[in-house]
Amino acid sequence: MAALVRPRQGRMIGGVCAALAQRFGTSATTMRVIFLASCLLPGPQFLLYVALWIFLPSEKSAKPAW
């Protein structure tokens, strides 16, 4: 299983959707559409995105932030 890191290529904002797409074997565009569709539902989607942006390591360091 691949480690969950934000890739340097394919980022739009923070690379969170690109990282999740790599992890689940789908395209980044599909993950972005799923995220945008989930924003229509109540919940902490933006807070989760920001938290993943903070805690997922970037591909260049590949070390966890915590």
**Whole-number pLDDT of residue 45:** 92
Break the chain into its structural domains and give their ranges: 16-55
Above 70 in pLDDT, residue 66? no
Compare 61 and 2 and report the one with higher pLDDT: 2
pLDDT-derived band at 63, boundaries 50, 70, 90: low
**Whole-number pLDDT of residue 20:** 92
**Whole-number pLDDT of residue 54:** 92
The residue-averaged pLDDT of 33-38 equals: 94
Collect all residues with Cβ–Cβ distance below 8 Å to 31 and sequence separation of at least 6: 17, 18, 20, 21, 24
Apex CA 21: angle with CA 17 and CA 26, to 5°?
A: 140
